[in-house]
Amino acid sequence: MIFHINVPDKSIVPALQDKIDNLAKPKGSLGRLEELAVQIGTIQQTLSPTLNHPQNIVFAADHGVVVEGVSFSAPEVTAQQTYNFTRGGGGVNMFARQHHFGLKIVDVGVNADFGDLPGLIQRKIRKGTRNYRYEPAMTPDEMETALRIGAETVDLVHSEGTNIVSFGELGMANTSASSLWMTFFTGIPLKACVGAGSGLSHAGIEHKYQVLNEAMSKYTGDHSPADIMRWFGGYEMVAAVGGMLRAAELKMVIIIDGFIMTNCVLAASRLYPEVLEYCIFGHQGDEAGHKLVLDYLKARPLLNLGLRLGEGTGAICAYPIIDSAVRMMNDMNSFQDAEVTKYF
């Protein structure tokens, strides 16, 4: 797919900063909120930004490499949690209700037949990727399809009035794929990129590392971003990349979730660096490599709560802070309006 992503026009920044500096408060006293307001105002090209109908999109798919024992969770958990999400019983459902998020659950490759399951967008490409310990996870056509599904899902939420979106994932063994993307795209040694995922022991982490290291050693592709994505990625991860790129193309604000979604935006930025201009990093998770990849991207996450659930939960938890930045721009009086003498 071809995306047309432009860097937002920065000529509005001085006017945004002037408005913020003239709100009835000490200059700079709202810290990070002021930075967020400048970023969102620049994305939307307005001095009065708005956040409309926030939505979180969860892409679900299975990974062929799960049979190698690289995940603490059983392979069937992907399908079981997909059912749970459609019934409103997941962590992501609870946070979405709390913070008034719309929620889309999209099957792009779960190893199950769901029938006509209410609440599930069925776009299955295949019942899980292939095992990249022995062969590429997906074909080029499958990767293209996953990118398109991600973009089309963002088109859907955009048509519903959404201008701020977050992404989540569901798929056992997807921290393994993320670790491989991370080491290929950053040059950080694989050992530092591999963590416990859903709860592996030290011995389990070492086994996971050995499997992934073997998979790396057998890689015979051309090292292009697209080739690395298809060789080691999951359908849900590639769909998230496509969604992020379409959201940036549509000038939407993107909230980035944890380790897996951070590596998805890392991959997206290898294709289109401009995507990072639209991203707010929600949190630093508890997966071993997350801080390293955030530091590589020079990203400053809003929260650090030790989360490692995925699903977009950390991004949704960060939303109230982003909302506060926008409310500051629209709801606070200026010194002139409040008839308060400037005190900076």
Sheet containing 102-109: order of strands: 120-122, 102-109, 55-61, 164-170, 253-256, 279-281
Residue with tokens 């062929």: 64
Active-site option among 34, 68, 236, 311? 311
CA angle, 161 then 256 then 81, to 5°:
85
Beta-carbon contacts of residue 131 (< 8 Å; ≥ 6 apart): 64, 65, 67, 68, 137
Euclidean distance between CA atoms 299 and 302, whole angstroms: 10
The residue among 43, 38, 42 whose CA lies nearest residue 325 is 38
- Which residues lie across from 102 on neighbouring strands? 55
**Pair 164, 256: CB distance under 8 Å:** no
Is residue 311 among the annotated active site residues?
yes
Q: Residue 41: which of 8, 66, 64, 73 has the closest Cα?
A: 8
Decide if 315 contacts 168 (C-beta within 8 A): yes
Q: Is 216 exposed, middle or buried (0-12, 13-18, 19+ CB in 10 A)?
A: middle
* Residue numbers annotated as active site: 311
